[in-house]
C-alpha cells in the first residue's frame, strides 16, 4: 500500500482529555489513520540552535516526526511571514499585513530546513501531501534535493484576488513555487478561480484542455475539494460520558431559554466583534425576545505572540460587557463570554444544546464548526445554522441561513428568523445539511485528493521507466 507523508507547520496528535484540536489537526489525524502514514512538522518547541534532530512518536496509528525550530525561526517564519504577512493578506486584511524582508528570509530558511530534514524520511513510492500557507515553497526545496515523488499541496485558507496578491513583495516567486507541486488543492471553486486568474492574467500562463495550468515552464493541476468532518467519529463522540454531562449542564443552565452559540479561535478573521454588534442589534430590535434568549460565545486564545491578536480579547470583553451592562437584568445576562479552551467531546455536548449556531467569519477557508454543529444536532428538535457567505462551507451548506457578516441588520434578522422557525422547516434544513456532512466527510476529502495525486504520479513512473 502506498504510504502517505503529510507535512504541516505543526504536528498535533490528540491527547486524551486535552483541549479541542484545530480543524486541520483533526482532519489530518483522521486522514492518516487508515494509512501507514507519516506526519512531519514543527514540534511547537524552540531550541538555541537548529540541529535537524527528529523526534518520533506513534499514537492511534499515526507516526509523527517533529523538529524543533530556533527562536529566530519562530519569530520570522511563523509569527512573521506566516501570520503577519500571508494570513492577513489572504483574508483580505491588507491593512494588517506586515511586509518585512526579514520575515521573507525566515520563511525561506525554515522551508529549506524542513526539506533538508524531511528528505531522508521519504521513500521512493511515497505520496507527499503538504498542508497550508506556511509551506508553499516546500516542494521547490524538495525538488532541488532530488525528490521525484508526486507532491501535492492543499491550501486551507482563502486564496486572495490577484489585485490583493500583487501587493505582496515577490508575489510572483510565491506563485511560481506552487508550480513545483503536481496538484494544488483549494476548498472552493472561488479560491481556485482566483488562483487561475493570477496565473492567466498576471503570470502570463495558460489553461490546458485537461484543466491543468501552465506557467513558469511547468504545469500544475488545480482542484477544488472542500474538506469534511470526521463525521462518524464525531457523531459517536456524542454518546460519551463527557459529551452527555456537558449537554446536561448546558440544558440546566439554559433555564428554558434559547441559546445562540458561537465557537471560534480568537482571530480577527472570525468577525467576532461584528457578531456581537449584530446580536446587540437583535436585542435592540426585539425587546420582547430579550429574556427568552442568551448568547454563549466561546473564543479560545491563539497566536498570542502576534501583536495584532493581543488586543482582540480585551476588545471582545469590553463589547460583551457593554451589552450586558445595557441589557442585563438581575436574573438574566444576554452574553456569556468564555475564553477557556474546551475538549472536543465537551464541545460536542455544547453544540447539541444550542438552538442557533452563529458561524459568521468575515473570510474563511472552510470552517468546520458549521459542520460540527450540524453533526451534533438531534433530528427530533434540530437547531438552526446561520452561516457567513464568506466561509468556504457556504458553498456546500446552502440550507443554512446564509448571511452577510458585515451587515448587522442581516445577521440580526437571521437570528430572529432562526428563533421563530417552525420545527418542520428546521428538520427539513437539518436533514439536507446532515446528509452532506456525513457523505462529504474527511475520508472522502482525503481519498479524492490522494486519487488525483496518484493519477498524476502514474505518468511519471512510466516516463521514469522509459528513461
| Lookup: cell for 98 | 506586515
Asked if 296 contacts 261 with a C-beta cutoff of 8 angstroms, the reply is: yes
Residue with cell 485528493: 449
Measured from the Cβ of residue 257, the count of other Cβ atoms closer than 10 Å reads: 13
User: What is residue 217's three-state secondary structure?
Assistant: coil
Q: In terms of Cα–Cα distance, which of 6, 26, 24 is closest to 14? A: 26
* Helical ranges in 63-188 per DSSP H: 71-73, 87-90, 101-118, 138-144, 162-165, 171-178
CA distances from residue 356 to 304, 334, 405 in whole angstroms, order as listed: 29, 14, 16
For the chain, what's the residue count? 467
Q: Which residues have C-beta within 8 Å of that of residue 353, sequence separation ≥ 6?
A: 246, 247, 250, 251, 254, 259
Return the bridge partners of 298, or none.
263, 338
- Active-site hit among 364, 410, 440, 441: 364
Phi/psi of residue 275, each to 5°? -65, -45
| Cα radius of gyration (the chain) | 23
Residue 156 known to be catalytic: yes
Cα distance between residue 351 and residue 259, in whole Å? 10
CA distances from residue 124 to 120, 178, 422 in whole angstroms, order as listed: 11, 22, 58
Residue 364 known to be catalytic: yes
| Lookup: cell for 388 | 457567513
Phi/psi of residue 443, each to 5°? -70, -40
Q: What is the dihedral of CA 313, 342, 291, 317, to 10 degrees?
A: -10
Asked if 434 contacts 235 with a C-beta cutoff of 8 angstroms, the reply is: no
Pairing of strands 206-207, 213-215: antiparallel
- Active-site hit among 91, 134, 156, 434: 156
Catalytically annotated residues:
156, 364
Amino acid at each position: 500500500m502506498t504510504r502517505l507523508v503529510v507535512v504541516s507547520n505543526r504536528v498535533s496528535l490528540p491527547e486524551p482529555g486535552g483541549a479541542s484540536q484545530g480543524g486541520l489537526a483533526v482532519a489530518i489525524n483522521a486522514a492518516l489513520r487508515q494509512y501507514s502514514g507519516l506526519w512531519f512538522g514543527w514540534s511547537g518547541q524552540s531550541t538555541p540552535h537548529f540541529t535537524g534532530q527528529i523526534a518520533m512518536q506513534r499514537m492511534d496509528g499515526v507516526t509523527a516526526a517533529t523538529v524543533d525550530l530556533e527562536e529566530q525561526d519562530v519569530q520570522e517564519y511563523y509569527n512573521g511571514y506566516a501570520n503577519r504577512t500571508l494570513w492577513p493578506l489572504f483574508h483580505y486584511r491588507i491593512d494588517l499585513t506586515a511586509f518585512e524582508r526579514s520575515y521573507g528570509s525566515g520563511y525561506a530558511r525554515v522551508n529549506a530546513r524542513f526539506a533538508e530534514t524531511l528528505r531522508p524520511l521519504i521513500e521512493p513510492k511515497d505520496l507527499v501531501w503538504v498542508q497550508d500557507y506556511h509551506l508553499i515553497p516546500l516542494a521547490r526545496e524538495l525538488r532541488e534535493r532530488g525528490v521525484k515523488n508526486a507532491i501535492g499541496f492543499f491550501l486551507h485558507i482563502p486564496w486572495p484576488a490577484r489585485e490583493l496578491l500583487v501587493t505582496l513583495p515577490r508575489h510572483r516567486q510565491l506563485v511560481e513555487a506552487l508550480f513545483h507541486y503536481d496538484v494544488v488543492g483549494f476548498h472552493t471553486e472561488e479560491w481556485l478561480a482566483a488562483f487561475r486568474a493570477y496565473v492567466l492574467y498576471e503570470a502570463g500562463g495558460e489553461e490546458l484542455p485537461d484543466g491543468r495550468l501552465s506557467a513558469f515552464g511547468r504545469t500544475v493541476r488545480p482542484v477544488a475539494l472542500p474538506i469534511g468532518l470526521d463525521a462518524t467519529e464525531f457523531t459517536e463522540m456524542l454518546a460519551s460520558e463527557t459529551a452527555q454531562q456537558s449537554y446536561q449542564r448546558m440544558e440546566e443552565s439554559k433555564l428554558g431559554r434559547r441559546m445562540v452559540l458561537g465557537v471560534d479561535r480568537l482571530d480577527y478573521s472570525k468577525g467576532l466583534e461584528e457578531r456581537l454588534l449584530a446580536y446587540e442589534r437583535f436585542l435592540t430590535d426585539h425587546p420582547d425576545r430579550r429574556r427568552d434568549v442568551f448568547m454563549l460565545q466561546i473564543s479560545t486564545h491563539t497566536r498570542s505572540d502576534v501583536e495584532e491578536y493581543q488586543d482582540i480579547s480585551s476588545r471582545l470583553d469590553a463589547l460583551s460587557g457593554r451589552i450586558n451592562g445595557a441589557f442585563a437584568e438581575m436574573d438574566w445576562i444576554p452574553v456569556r463570554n468564555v475564553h477557556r479552551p474546551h475538549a472536543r467531546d465537551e464541545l460536542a455536548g455544547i453544540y447539541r444544546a444550542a438552538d442557533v449556531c452563529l458561524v459568521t467569519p468575515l473570510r474563511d477557508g472552510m470552517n468546520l464548526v458549521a459542520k460540527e454543529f450540524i453533526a451534533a444536532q438531534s433530528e427530533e428538535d434540530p437547531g438552526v445554522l446561520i452561516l457567513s457567505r464568506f466561509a468556504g462551507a457556504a458553498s456546500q451548506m446552502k440550507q443554512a441561513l446564509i448571511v452577510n457578516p458585515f451587515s448587522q441588520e442581516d445577521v440580526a434578522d437571521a437570528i430572529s428568523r432562526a428563533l421563530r422557525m417552525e420545527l418542520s422547516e428546521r428538520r427539513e434544513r437539518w436533514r439536507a445539511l446532515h446528509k452532506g456532512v456525513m457523505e462529504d466527510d474527511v475520508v472522502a476529502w482525503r481519498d479524492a485528493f490522494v486519487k488525483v495525486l496518484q493519477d498524476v504520479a502514474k505518468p511519471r513512473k512510466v516516463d521514469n521507466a522509459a528513461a
